[in-house]
């Protein structure tokens, strides 16, 4: 049996009228090489999916079945939905808590491959035909990029995929697109809240109860926008008057969500003032606007503070480029150190 972990993005859904937890995403993707040099071709599982339904396992342990897997092959890969019974003690005591805290981050599949189903090219092994036996939830993926978006059932916000870093952000336009996308005409639909960091639960039928939008519709899909998240960091750090109308407990939860998105973006936690600027970041600074951008993206400064600090910077670019970069590098990290003191 070959076990392989592929890029996945899945979320947990609970329905009041349903007896299962639903975990959705892609348990395998086509056409990309994994860390072991395997590439799964589109259509490799077509025969298998017509002949048998794979089971869902915990960490590939055949003694720990946790449910069944509904799998459909599409252009991207194996579109997967796991159904885990809510009345299963192990699922409730072990599986769901580990998903919620993020200790389990990935899908992984177990398959058998006939000799005729393999070909080789450019040191890669191409899997042309395979039989899908099981889909597992695993904590340590073979593919380091197979990072879960979100699993926490009480917190739907982290389940959104990320838009590109350069995606523009206009909160008013975003809200309009969110209303249309979620079919929220007269009042907010159940999906409407996924695009906002906070809402007043006692007035969830009122559009004005939803605060801090951070997503918009990109290519027909609701996605979290990095620039919106950066703006929220600024608000939580005191920009535009801060968030005095939100409780400290809820602010802490919002920060946790924002921090998880920054982790997915490969960036430092914006609420921990231990940022060290890298020479690679400094090399990108060709103007005060560039400097303002990296200050804002560091998460330590609001937009207005970043603009102000960039305007005060007086490092002459008439010096050699190397000398200029060293001075700027030292000045930025000196500022960072002062903030931490």
pLDDT tens-digit series, residues 84-126: 998 899 998 899 888 877 778 788 888 888 888 888 888 788 8
Q: Do the domain assignments include residue 147?
A: no
Q: What percent of the chain has pLDDT above 90?
A: 16
- Choosing from 203, 231, 264, the residue where a domain stops is 264
124 and 24 assigned to the same domain: yes
321 and 233 assigned to the same domain: no
254 and 174 assigned to the same domain: yes
| Whole-prediction pTM | 0.43
CA pair distance 134, 149, nearest whole angstrom: 22
Q: Do the domain assignments include residue 271?
A: no
For range 4-31, the mean pLDDT: 67
pLDDT band at 216 (very low <50, low <70, confident <90, very high): very high
Q: Which residues contact 306 (CB under 8 A, 6 or more apart)?
A: 292, 293, 295, 296
Which among 138, 131, 228, 127 has a CA at the least distance from the CA of 177? 228
Per-residue pLDDT tens for 309-337? 777 666 555 545 556 666 676 676 666 55
- Choosing from 83, 104, 138, the residue where a domain stops is 138
172 and 133 assigned to the same domain: no
The better pLDDT of the pair 224, 99 is held by: 224
164 and 288 assigned to the same domain: no
For range 299-312, the mean pLDDT: 68
Question: What is the tally of structural domains in the chain?
Answer: 3
Contact indicator for 331, 279 with CB cutoff of 8 Å: no
133 and 247 assigned to the same domain: no
11 and 117 assigned to the same domain: yes
125 and 183 assigned to the same domain: no
Contact indicator for 257, 155 with CB cutoff of 8 Å: yes
Contact indicator for 324, 313 with CB cutoff of 8 Å: no
Q: Do the domain assignments include residue 144?
A: no
Q: Do the domain assignments include residue 272?
A: no
289 and 236 assigned to the same domain: no
- Choosing from 238, 264, 290, the residue where a domain stops is 264
How far is it between the farthest Cα atoms of the chain? 71
Q: Do the domain assignments include residue 146?
A: no
Q: Which domain holds residue 251?
A: 156-264
Cα dihedral: 253, 255, 261, 262 (round 10): -160
285 and 252 assigned to the same domain: no
CA pair distance 162, 166, nearest whole angstrom: 11
239 and 284 assigned to the same domain: no
Tokens of 188: 């907010």
3-state secondary structure (DSSP) of residue 48: helix
104 and 47 assigned to the same domain: yes
The rounded mean pLDDT for the chain is 77
Three-state secondary structure along 142-209? CCCCCCCCCCCCCCHHHHCCECCCCCCCCHHHHHHHHHHHCCCCCCCCCCHHHHEEEECHHHCCCHHH
Q: Do the domain assignments include residue 13?
A: yes
Q: Do the domain assignments include residue 270?
A: no
């Amino acid at each position: 049996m070959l076990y392989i972990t592929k890029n996945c993005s899945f979320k947990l859904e609970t329905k009041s009228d349903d007896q299962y937890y639903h975990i959705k995403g892609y348990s395998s993707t086509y056409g990309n090489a994994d860390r072991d040099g395997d590439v799964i071709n589109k259509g490799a599982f077509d025969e298998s999916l017509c002949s048998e339904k794979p089971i869902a396992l915990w960490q590939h342990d055949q003694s720990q079945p946790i449910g069944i897997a509904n799998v459909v092959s599409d252009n991207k890969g194996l579109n997967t939905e796991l159904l885990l019974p809510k009345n299963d003690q192990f699922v409730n005591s072990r599986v769901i808590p580990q998903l919620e805290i993020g200790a389990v981050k990935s899908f992984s599949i177990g398959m058998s491959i006939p000799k005729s189903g393999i070909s080789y090219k450019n040191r890669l092994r191409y899997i042309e035909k395979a039989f899908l036996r099981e889909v597992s939830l695993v904590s340590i993926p073979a593919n380091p990029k197979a990072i879960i978006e979100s699993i926490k059932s009480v917190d739907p916000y982290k389940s959104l995929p990320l838009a590109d870093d350069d995606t523009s952000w206009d909160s008013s336009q975003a809200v309009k697109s969110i209303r249309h996308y979620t079919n929220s005409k007269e009042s907010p639909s159940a999906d409407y809240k996924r695009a906002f960091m906070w809402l007043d639960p006692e007035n969830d039928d009122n559009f004005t109860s939803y605060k801090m939008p951070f997503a918009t519709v990109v290519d027909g899909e609701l996605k979290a926008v990095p620039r919106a998240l950066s703006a929220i960091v600024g608000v939580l750090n005191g920009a535009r008057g801060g968030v005095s109308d939100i409780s400290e407990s809820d602010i802490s939860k919002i920060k946790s969500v924002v921090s998880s998105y920054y982790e997915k973006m490969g960036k430092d936690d914006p609420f921990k003032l231990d940022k060290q600027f890298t020479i690679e970041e400094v090399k990108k600074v060709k103007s005060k606007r560039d400097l303002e951008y990296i200050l804002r993206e560091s998460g330590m400064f609001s937009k207005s503070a970043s603009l102000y600090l960039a305007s005060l910077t007086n490092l002459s670019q008439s010096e050699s480029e190397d000398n200029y970069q060293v001075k700027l590098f030292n000045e930025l990290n000196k500022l960072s150190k002062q903030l931490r003191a």
